[in-house]
Amino acid sequence: MSEQFLSVRDAIIQRRSIKKFNGQPVDREDLLEVIDDAVWAPNHGNREPWRLVVACGKELYALHDLLRDVTVPKWQELSNEELTKQMTKFTLAGGYAFIIVPEDARQKERLEDYAAASIFIQNIQLLAWDRGIGSCWKTPAFLDQPKFREALEVQPGERVIAMLQVGYFDEVPKGKERKKSEDIVTIYGQ
Ligand SMILES: Cc1cc2nc3c(=O)[nH]c(=O)nc-3n(C[C@H](O)[C@H](O)[C@H](O)COP(=O)(O)O)c2cc1C
């Protein structure tokens, strides 16, 4: 794969969440390289409060089965065609990373860890984007389901905070307008 090198600013501004992937698989090595760079996210006390479960390539098939089981009730009663249609939102992604964060009993640490893991995820998204790999951070309710947690071997005291779908795409969606600094900033003392 050809590496691109966007400026930090361009990566931040140009990255869009990709919700329509084209089915091209993501090479696991590419995703692991991205993760190895993304870990340089700031995090309090160097706790590095994250771990991941990744699926790319052939492990995707088993993951699709799990996603089907937790999201399509009575899937056995559907026609192949209908099931395939309902599953495309999962099957067209070229890879998955589930980000797992410890849930510290202390509120301050828990919030810090969530904040740090969020930066880590943004790093993954930006670094992937730089390689032409799109992503979308998703938080479906099934991330907290016991059956799903068990399949990912999520331990008590841990939480899956993101299903990060990664993959290739044919179109970049238009970004929604953002507020300007004048809308969100109050100058101190004025
Ligand atoms: C914490 C978090 C949770 C999100 N959950 C979902 C989700 O469940 N489904 C989804 O389609 N997009 C989800 N998104 C992606 C947002 O929809 C997306 O970031 C937003 O529309 C802005 O678009 P952009 O990322 O292209 O700038 C989530 C993003 C964040 C940061």
pLDDT of residue 2: 53
Sorted by where each begins, the domain ranges of the chain are 8-184
Domain 8-184 has CATH 3.30.1700.10: no
- Model confidence pLDDT, tens digit, residues 106-144: 999 999 999 999 999 999 999 999 999 999 999 999 999
Instruction: Please tell me the predicted confidence (pLDDT) of residue 12.
Output: 98
For ligand 1, whether the C-beta of 116 sits within 6 Å is: no
Q: Is the CB of 63 under 6 A from ligand 1?
A: no
Residue 161 CA to ligand 1 center (angstroms) comes to 13
> In the chain, which residues have pLDDT < 70?
1-3
In Å, how far are 19, 21, 22, 82, 183 from 170, measured between CA atoms? 11, 7, 7, 24, 34
pTM, two decimals, is 0.97
* 189 Cα–ligand 1 center, Å: 34
pLDDT of residue 3: 65
Pairing of strands 158-167, 95-102: antiparallel
pLDDT tens profile 92-110: 999 999 999 999 999 999 9
Closest ligand 1 atom number to CA of residue 19: 11
